[in-house]
């Protein structure tokens, strides 16, 4: 599973949990679920932050998945960078307005 999928799953859970708070009449429980939702959004943002090490690991995963071909290192590096950027953009769009 790539980073964008991880970010997307965390954000989907956060949205689902936030929706639960509308159904719950107990204020304390609703606040705890809301806090969990916010924590998942922060986790998604942290997961989405591209670092050189994350790009390197993903590029290697792509290389291995494609049969370890020689001479295509830049292709896999750029694809890994693109996936990291997409994950970051996804998290940024879902970030609550402050």
Asked whether residue 95 carries a pLDDT value surpassing 90, the answer given is no
Neighbours of 45 (CB within 10 A): 19
The residues spanned by each domain of the chain are: 3-94
Residue 1: pLDDT band with limits 50, 70, 90: low
Which long-range CB contacts under 8 A does 74-82 form with residues at least 24 apart? 80/55, 80/56, 81/50, 81/55
Residue 64: the pLDDT is 96
Query: pLDDT (tens digit, 9 = 90+) per residue, 12-21?
Result: 898 899 888 8
Residue 35: pLDDT band with limits 50, 70, 90: very high
Residue 32: the pLDDT is 93
CA distance 70 to 74: 11
């Amino acid at each position: 599973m790539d980073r964008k999928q991880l970010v997307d799953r965390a954000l989907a859970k956060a949205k689902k949990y936030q929706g639960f708070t509308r159904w719950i009449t107990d204020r304390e429980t609703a606040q705890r679920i809301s806090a969990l939702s916010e924590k998942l959004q922060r986790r998604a943002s942290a997961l989405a932050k591209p670092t050189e090490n994350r790009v390197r690991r993903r590029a290697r995963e792509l290389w291995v998945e494609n049969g370890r071909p020689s001479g295509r290192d830049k292709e896999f590096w750029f694809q890994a960078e693109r996936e990291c950027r997409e994950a970051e953009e996804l998290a940024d769009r879902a970030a609550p307005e402050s």
